[in-house]
Structures are given as C-alpha cells and as structure tokens.
Amino acid sequence: MRFFAQTLIGAISTALFFAGCVMQPKIPENLKTDINLPAPANLITLSDRAAIGLEWESIDDPLIAGYIIYRAEPNANFTRYGAIGTRFSNHFLDEKPARTTPYAYAVSAYTADGRESPRGAPALGATLPALEAVSFVAGGNVLPRRAKIIFRPHPNERVSGYEVERRETGKKADWRRIARLEGRLHAEFIDEDLADDARYEYRVTAVAFDGLKSAPSEIVRTTTKTAPKAVIGLRASSNFTDKIEVRWQRATDDANGFYRVYAASRENGFFRAIADVKAADTAVEKPLDRGETRFYKVTFTDEDGLESALQSKPVYGATLPAEKPKK
C-alpha cells in the first residue's frame, strides 16, 4: 500500500505515556494473511516533539496473540516496524521518528499459529514542530569584567529554561555552554569574571521539559569595560633624610577612584601596596632610615574596581646617605 501527502493530524501538545508498551516479541517470519481474522480498528496517533504514539481498539478474541505495527514514509510501501506480544495492549510508541517527516501507520493482529489479519485503516502521524528560537536577544551596557544578556521569554509554555553559550569574538573558538537558566520567564543572564576590554559573542537556546532544544538565537556581541590607563610621570625623591616622596601625573577623570602605591626594596623584588590616595599626585613613605633605597610603582583603580596596569619598570627613590662620623 502507498500513501500520498495529506493533511496531517493536528499537533497534540500532550505528554505521551503508554503503559501498554512491552518488549518486542518474537513473531513468525512467514505469517499467512487470514481475511477472517478481525483487524484492529480506530487507529489514532498522538504526537510529541521526539515521538509518535499509536492507539487502537484492542481485540477481545482469545485467538489473537498480539499486534504488528507497520510504518511507511511518504510515497513508500508499508514495512513491518514493531510488534506487541499481547492482545490486551493497544498502544505503541515510535521513539525514532525523523523530525518533521510525516508517516503512515497501520496495525494488524496475529495468532500464535502464524496467521495475520488484514491491516486496519492507516493513520497519519508526525512529530510536532521544533521549538522556535528565542526571538529577541540583546547585550546590556558596557560593564566592568561582566556582560549582561537580556532576552524575551519564550512564549511556549513547554519551555523549562534556557542554555547560554559564549565564544570570544575574532577567535576560532567553539561555542561553550556557560549557564543553564531554570524557568521560562528567566530572561536575564550576567556573565562574570571576564577580561578587561574583551569582546564576546553570546547566543541563547530554549530547552523544553522533555529535553528538546530550539535552534540557537541570533548572536549578540558585547564588550567589557576598558581598565584605566597606566599612570604616567612617575618619579621619586632622593633628598630627604627620613622619607621618600612619590609623585605622578594625575588623570583628568580620577575623582571617583584612587591611586595605589606599591614599593619594594629591590627593582625586581616583590612590590607590596603601601598607600591608597584619592585625588592627589603625591604619596609619602616614612619613616625611613638614612641611606635606604626603594623602588615604586603606582596604579589607578576606578569606581568599578578596575585597576590600571603596573609600570614595566619601577622608579628609584632613596633617602640621604648616613652622615659620616666626625673625626
């Protein structure tokens, strides 16, 4: 039997539960058709996004040992697809249909002595359409070491949440899932611990309760905030007996941040923060001994906690040498 394209049975948005499904029985290969055997009647299909369920009227006849399920793709012959080894069951679940492919199904009954009834009237079935992609995704304002992604909640109530993926712009990197958001109305994500002045791409995928996913959304591109520029004009004194003054050139927009002064006893030693100063161009380290030498670096930290880079080469400072003892 062949079938041609027809109007598919309307999509039924319902979870499929078929308690009657059993393991595939062993059916004689060379069944003989017996037109006197009753054929299963009133076959219907129920569709989900990854499965198609069949239901028919069971046959209350002790001669019937079970049922054989046939399936056909468009413009193709029916082939045996599955079987149920009891007449008391009247459900079958096709868990491997191709997405969006319409199928025709038919069911026959068989006996233990190798006879098969005619197939009952066929029914059409197809999986439900895939979830639509998230329709609107946008990036928020430039943020410090963060990216904010907002999107419109998916209208399909079968959606249980979303997956967020990220990759760095301009680099040959694969998409990497970085978050799973629970809840259909969860429509915001903030990605943290990012690099300064970095560019990232994001996309969002809706996930249904049954685990099936939509196509990814359109790609949204974001840029993180740039760290403050390095402090310039750094210099240190060498004309005081018990202190060293460190000076630098103030930035024009330093009102909401502070300068941090680092010091070390050696040029390539460990630099420890010794002072934080606001709206100034000078810091003093004291008390120091005469003849002491120090090395300094200075950074600026803005209102969002972003700190400028340390200078590659520190400045040298010193106190006046110790007085020579009088003879």
Task: Note the pLDDT of residue 136.
Answer: 94
The Cα-based distances of 303 to 17, 231, 282 in angstroms read 57, 16, 20
- The string of DSSP codes covering 212-229 is -BPPP---EEEEPPPPPP
Residues 80-90: tens digit of each pLDDT: 999 999 999 99
Task: Note the pLDDT of residue 24.
Answer: 62
Q: Which of 4-13, 70-79, 133-142 has the lowest mean pLDDT?
A: 4-13
Q: Are 31 and 82 in contact (CB under 8 A)?
A: no
Q: Are 283 and 297 in contact (CB under 8 A)?
A: no
Q: Domains for the chain: give ranges and CATH numbers.
A: 32-125 (2.60.40.10), 137-223 (2.60.40.10), 232-318 (2.60.40.10)
Backbone angles phi, psi at 160, to 5 degrees: -100, -15
Of 221, 92, 86, 209, which Cα lies nearest the Cα of 167?
221
Whose tokens are 């990216």? That residue is 147
Residues 21-69: tens digit of each pLDDT: 445 666 767 899 999 999 999 999 998 878 999 999 999 999 999 999 9
Task: Note the pLDDT of residue 28.
Answer: 65
